[in-house]
């Protein structure tokens, strides 16, 4: 079908108006309404384990175990990496090989990941196989053997490869360093220990087994499902998680923002990460929707093809073909980090970095057109809703919210809170960033890369 130009141009401004009006969310019948079937999670508790499930009709299902045991909570470096790698290894009942072959025969997929706050063990399967995978997750959580030879033969080797992969990615190193200067301990722990950390000193199978008892304690985990029947999920989880260890949650001191500067020499490439205290996850005290709008406004990466897009950083770095800029608001359960990452050629990063800080100053001075902010609100809303809807990010966010006792992701409310962000709020948050202490992490050719002060920031 061909759309005539006039139809399109007549509707476009109207679409924008509808998207951005603050009252729009209530007056409009849309996917964001609270009663949306399939996207809302049913929250229950069975056998002392918190369970959330959404019934999306389809032939496959997903079940994920979210444990509050990411790198933030680990007692010594490398524990959450090792625990993640030990998932689906030999248990007291069956060997790793058998688990592997059984999953292959059933046609499922199991994986494990960890973030700064959580370890996620995830299983995707054909709908009929829910009981098998619920049992498998329970077995992995409570009966993993933690054999010493698996640690040295498999787990340690994989972690070492991951350390090297991290060292080869200057932007990831810079983001880690920015977290370290921003939060020191806790959230500041690097997500995978750097190559210079001697893991053998810290990792032992016995200590890991002990840590797993706490990490997978009933109060420290949540199960999040998608695609299966809620009653079934609650029933099978209740059946199999009866023997899960009981205990208290892993404790950690509340995050506090410090700020500062760190410079690391590296041959892998160049990256500068400028970070400010951002918005926490939805439903927590640190939630500031205006920070995510500012992240969309500064942007840097285009959402459409063949054009730099409207975002301020994309405009500011247009002349620098060998620099990649992106802005993100990384949100955690009690804090957030707003990061502007620049990576590429060292000399271009220096000038692009100055432009980026100037762009932020422009926002703080209120010199940004209101249409731009409206566009940013739409992008921020899209990103928030899309991450809630997509499986990978949505499962972890929901599980994390359940464990931390905050509100689970309510799509309608998220949309409303972002819609309600005003120009003044965005200006205010940019001002707060510039007046407070920034965290600057620089990785690469330090001779050429700028100091935070050179970029015009207070560090």
Partner 1 sequence: MSAPSLANYIVKRPWLKRWMMPIAQWYTDASGYRRLGLRADDLIPEENDVVQKALKRLPPKEAYDRIFRIRRAFQCSISHTLLPPAEQTKPSEDVEYLSPIIREIEKENKEREDLDALVVRR
- Please say which residue, 29 or 149, places its beta carbon nearer to partner 1: 149
Q: Do 276 and 431 meet the contact criterion of CB atoms below 8 Å apart? A: no
Q: Which positions from 103 through 122 interact with partner 1, judged by CB under 8 A?
A: 105
If you search the block for the tokens 């990010």, which residue do you land on? 393
- Please say which residue, 90 or 284, places its beta carbon nearer to partner 1: 90
For residue 144, the minimal CB distance to partner 1 (Å) is: 17
Site string for partner 1, 122-151 (x = CB under 8 A): --------------------------xx--
For residue 197, the minimal CB distance to partner 1 (Å) is: 21
- Please say which residue, 97 or 424, places its beta carbon nearer to partner 1: 97
Q: Which positions from 207 through 266 interact with partner 1, judged by CB under 8 A?
A: none
Taking CB under 8 A as the binding criterion, the range among 22-30, 93-101, 231-239, 353-361 that sits at the site for partner 1 is 93-101
Q: Which positions from 146 through 175 interact with partner 1, judged by CB under 8 A?
A: 148-149
For residue 95, the minimal CB distance to partner 1 (Å) is: 6
- Please say which residue, 206 or 306, places its beta carbon nearer to partner 1: 206
Quote the tokens at residue 347: 């000399």
Any bridge partners for residue 46, and if so which? 49
- Please say which residue, 206 or 447, places its beta carbon nearer to partner 1: 206
**In angstroms, rounded to a whole number, what is the distance separating the alpha carbons of residues 259 and 457?**
11
- Please say which residue, 98 or 201, places its beta carbon nearer to partner 1: 98
Taking CB under 8 A as the binding criterion, the range among 61-69, 98-106, 235-243, 301-309 that sits at the site for partner 1 is 98-106
Q: Round to the nearest angstrom and report the end-to-end CA distance of the chain.
A: 56
**In angstroms, rounded to a whole number, what is the distance separating the alpha carbons of residues 123 and 134?**
9
Site string for partner 1, 46-85 (x = CB under 8 A): ----------------------------------------
- Please say which residue, 105 or 285, places its beta carbon nearer to partner 1: 105
Residue of 98, 157, 160, 201 that binds partner 1 (CB under 8 A): 98
- Please say which residue, 146 or 310, places its beta carbon nearer to partner 1: 146
> What is the SS3 string spanning the chain?
CCCCHHHHHHHHHHHHHHHHCCCHHHHCCCCCCCCCCCCCCEEEEECCEEEEEECCCCCEEEEEEEECCCCCCCCCCCHHHHHHHCCCCCECCCCHHHHHHHHHHHCCEEEEEECCCCEEEEEEEEHHHHHHHHHHHHHHHHHECCCHHHHHHHHHHHHHHHHHHHHCCHHHHHHHHHHHHHHCCHHHCCCCCCCCCCHHHHCCHHHHHHHHHHHCCHHHEEEEEECCCHHHHHHHHHHHHHHCCCCCCCCCCCCCCCCEEEEEECCCCEEEEEEEECCCCCCCCCCCHHHHHHHHHHCCCCCCCCCCCCCHHHHHCCCCCCEEEEEEEEECCCCEEEEEEEEECHHHHHHHHHHHHHHHHHHHCCCCCHHHHHHHHHHHHHHHHHHHHCHHHHHHHHHHHHHCCCCCCCHHHHHHHHHCCCHHHHHHHHHHHHHCCCEEEEEECCCCCCCHHHHCCCC
By CB under 8 A, residue 93 contacts partner 1: no
For residue 105, the minimal CB distance to partner 1 (Å) is: 6
- Please say which residue, 12 or 148, places its beta carbon nearer to partner 1: 148
Quote the tokens at residue 367: 């010199």
Taking CB under 8 A as the binding criterion, the range among 13-21, 95-103, 265-273, 304-312 that sits at the site for partner 1 is 95-103
Q: How many CB atoms lie within 10 A of CB 16?
A: 14
Size of the residue set binding partner 1 (CB under 8 A): 7
For residue 148, the minimal CB distance to partner 1 (Å) is: 7
Taking CB under 8 A as the binding criterion, the range among 96-104, 221-229, 307-315, 347-355 that sits at the site for partner 1 is 96-104
For residue 373, the minimal CB distance to partner 1 (Å) is: 59
Q: Do 104 and 156 meet the contact criterion of CB atoms below 8 Å apart? A: no
- Please say which residue, 40 or 143, places its beta carbon nearer to partner 1: 143
**In angstroms, rounded to a whole number, what is the distance separating the alpha carbons of residues 162 and 7?**
52
Residue of 19, 95, 143, 204 that binds partner 1 (CB under 8 A): 95
**In angstroms, rounded to a whole number, what is the distance separating the alpha carbons of residues 240 and 217?**
14
Q: Which positions from 405 through 424 interact with partner 1, judged by CB under 8 A?
A: none
For residue 153, the minimal CB distance to partner 1 (Å) is: 8
By CB under 8 A, residue 97 contacts partner 1: yes
For residue 229, the minimal CB distance to partner 1 (Å) is: 24
- Please say which residue, 202 or 382, places its beta carbon nearer to partner 1: 202
Residue of 10, 18, 93, 101 that binds partner 1 (CB under 8 A): 101
By CB under 8 A, residue 201 contacts partner 1: no
Query: Which residue ranges make up the site for partner 1 (CB under 8 A)?
Result: 95, 97-98, 101, 105, 148-149
């Amino acid at each position: 079908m061909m759309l005539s130009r006039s139809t399109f141009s007549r509707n476009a401004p109207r679409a924008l108006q509808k998207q951005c009006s603050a009252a729009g969310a209530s007056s409009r019948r849309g996917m964001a309404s609270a009663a949306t079937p399939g996207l809302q999670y049913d929250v229950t508790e069975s056998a002392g384990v918190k369970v959330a499930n959404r019934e999306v009709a389809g032939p496959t299902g997903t079940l994920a175990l979210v444990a509050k045991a990411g790198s933030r909570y680990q007692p010594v470096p490398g524990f959450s990496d090792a625990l993640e790698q030990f998932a689906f290894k030999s248990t007291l009942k069956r060997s790793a090989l058998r688990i592997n072959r059984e999953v292959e025969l059933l046609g499922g997929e199991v994986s494990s990941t960890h973030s700064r706050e959580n370890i996620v063990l995830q299983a995707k399967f054909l709908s009929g196989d829910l009981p098998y995978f619920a049992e498998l997750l329970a077995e992995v959580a409570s009966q993993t053997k933690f054999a010493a030879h698996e640690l040295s033969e498999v787990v340690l080797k994989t972690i070492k490869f991951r350390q090297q992969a991290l060292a080869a990615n200057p932007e990831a190193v810079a983001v880690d360093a920015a977290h370290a200067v921003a939060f020191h301990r806790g959230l500041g722990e690097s997500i995978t220990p750097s190559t210079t950390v001697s893991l053998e000193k810290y990792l032992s199978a016995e200590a890991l087994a002990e840590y797993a008892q706490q990490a997978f304690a009933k109060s420290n985990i949540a199960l999040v499902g998608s695609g299966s029947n809620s009653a079934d999920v609650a029933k099978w989880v209740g059946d199999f998680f009866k023997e899960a260890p009981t205990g208290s949650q892993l404790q950690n001191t509340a995050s506090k923002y410090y700020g500062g500067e760190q410079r690391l020499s590296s041959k892998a490439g160049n990256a500068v990460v400028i970070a400010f205290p951002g918005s926490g996850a939805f439903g927590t005290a640190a939630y500031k929707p205006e920070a995510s709008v500012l992240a969309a406004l500064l942007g840097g990466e285009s959402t459409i093809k063949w054009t730099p897009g409207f975002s301020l950083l994309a405009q500011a770095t247009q002349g620098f073909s060998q620099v990649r800029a992106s802005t993100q608001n990384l949100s955690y359960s009690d804090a957030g980090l707003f990061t502007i990452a620049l990576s590429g050629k060292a000399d271009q990063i220096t000038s692009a970095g100055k432009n980026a800080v100037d762009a932020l100053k422009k926002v703080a001075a209120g010199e940004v057109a209101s249409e731009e902010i409206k566009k940013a609100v739409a992008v921020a809303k899209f990103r928030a809703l899309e991450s809630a809807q997509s499986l990978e990010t949505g499962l972890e966010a929901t599980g994390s919210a359940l464990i931390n006792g905050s509100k689970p992701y309510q799509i309608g409310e998220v949309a409303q809170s972002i819609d309600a962000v005003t120009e003044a709020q965005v200006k205010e948050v940019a001002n707060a960033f510039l007046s407070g202490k920034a965290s600057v992490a620089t990785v690469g050719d330090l001779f050429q890369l700028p100091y935070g002060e050179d970029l015009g920031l207070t560090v």
